[in-house]
Chain A
């Protein structure tokens, strides 16, 4: 059964089986990709997947179910499961939205030319990257990770009040991971990126950067434990700042999982620090015209000049708070409704990276983070392995490995001394510049 027919069927079935209200989401995706090793394609993959999830309410009690099977029996069973679940849950207050005017704007998330890119072109790109990387430096031992692919997806949302909206997107990706060695010491260097334009991928740029990132770390050593100024590279600030999104979600605040509770209007960070959630930036992966519950997306300034300005809401948390939903519900067909940023921006500052590195006589410049399990968005704890460079008077002295950096997110954002004037070139929904932190605790 086609997706639109399956949606028609599940909606009529939900009414028939006695749901008071409901919303359904369908997702479909297609992808293909390959990875290579030593000049040969080792793995290649073609895939298509799809699924429909339903949330329905009976006497305000929610029930969820989903299916990847689109037969009439499977769809009916999915509705019966959701009805059965609505007998178990506690009541929830929320207002299922009416159809609203959704801005008609091309967010440039779909590029038809990406659809016609052949896997053979992606394979040739990989082969070029591999050969360039091998020739670039004799310390390159091998290239364990090398791959490229393309994917496309479509989402459709409907509800019992007649909301009906859909969106689609596609993208291409390519990446390379280089292993370099010197005197028994091994380091990996990576570069990968996504785009909707095949011509964006430059094999020499990608290969060179991956090799450079591996060889520049050879000979890395630890540094003595202490409290140091730290420059966090724009390569990793999106990862770090991105781990602490949840404290800004209304539902986390309501359920005691955010240290920002009660702090609206208060200063929580240095005055140059802002967080902007902007869903309408062309081409950005987080861009969307409506959220996972069909509410029009809007631009929200979450933190403005250091002051906490707003939390993000979905239908349920907005109702509980007595505010209008802000259009930040996220939902996949197999999951519950949550909250999420669309795109997250920390505005750029005025300073170049070299100004950040030379602001103190000595500093640690962190270019890689390892793992994230010592980082908790609830407590704000940051305790994470790091690699990078020891810098004196603005000059790199030696590469650094085998250290951890430690702080707390809610302290860190009050200790940012300078912001860099660039973002990394990675196509990402999170954009954060280089940042100089007054100090972090480093263990080595």
Chain B
């Protein structure tokens, strides 16, 4: 059933009122009919009894006359008495029969019965009765005696009964009219009261069906309906946009501060998004930390402005349970009708753009028609991961890491690529999150780790003794046997534990911090170097440096880019280096691309550098060539 149908209760109300009125009408009719019938029956009964009494008393009177006088005199006196009575009441008729003398006396018969005179013979065949002739009511009764053998019949035209019935009918009609009137109003009151309750329930149901329970925003169902309606009303020349927002760092808040803190965060973000959007569009929550904004009749420029304002609103710190937390937003945009007109298509395309924005650490990206980022494509890749591990399709590229003081290569960061048989060489952002979402995360981590260690062993045999940093997923850190696996592999390949470096991104360390800290400690205990990657971009504080007890801190490339021109970046980098020095941790600057950046970092006494200025990530053969050239 559609929501509109559930809300439309006008018809139900009309039915209720009609039903109540019909019942009131039927009840009034039955009431009038019953009352009139009752009055009629009671009147007949009374009339009949009265007439019978009169017949008996008349008979007694005549018997008395007959006992006092001779039959001839008695006959005359009785007839005279009946005629006198007939004169008093013209509606009363008598027939007196003396069987001995074989004669009868008739008083008022023609007058009372009129044209129905012949009907008297029928009446006299029964002892008493009641009949209606030509709209007039008649009642008759008979009485007889054997000694003397006389019979008396009395007929009365009932005038009072007719009047009584007319009176009752008139009175009851008025009463019924008033009763019906009251019943109609009662029906209206009852029906409206019932329908109002139903309406209220329907409204609540409709609200539940179209709104998100937690934030009070619209839900996916409502949004899809709104987009469809917009398309229907504006089949041509209309523009719109879907902005799909996914929060970065929400999972960390949920995992570290609890779900209620996560809920508070979502509600705060929802309020901000609603405030920024205002009357310009509809804000909905898809679920989890995903929000959608549907904008109608906005130019692309306006859409980008709104998206920018939404992103700004999302990154402002939020106080949750006394803790200050901050999240950021990755926004994917799909234009209507350019990227689709159906709600699902628009959402899918916006989701694709959002995903690209997320993996490339950008705030906003617009849907690209390229199939490389489509959901189907990603689903396909996801299904191929297991076989790719089995077929050894994941290859490692190595980016050299140099000591800044003397320029010597001290190690390399192993960066994974997927040599896909059909799609070619795929970058990590195309598949890393797919692996982390799949059941293959542990086997993948182990596969990469083994691959890197084997490469290190191969180079060692060739006399190249450098350390290799391997990026592991935070989910690998939750594997309790990881230190034992690494230790046994190192022993097997006769490698020094200090040659292996395990890297974790800063945001990843937020997931179950205590477990990660314990794992870092165990790795350090066996001699493996541990480092925090992309430091400064997550939401952790410097205090985590101490808690996690790492050997190396890698400053994110975001701070190194524009290091020459941005004073703020210089201050942040100098601060991180200074702090790490005091905490006796080595610092690596990632993403060095210019000689100026190198000079600045040197002045700041940064320990190690890595970036395109020296070398991009290289296949193992090229890396070997680079090392050989560099050492010459």
- A and B: partners? no
Residues of A within 8 A of B (CB): none
Residues of B within 8 A of A (CB): none
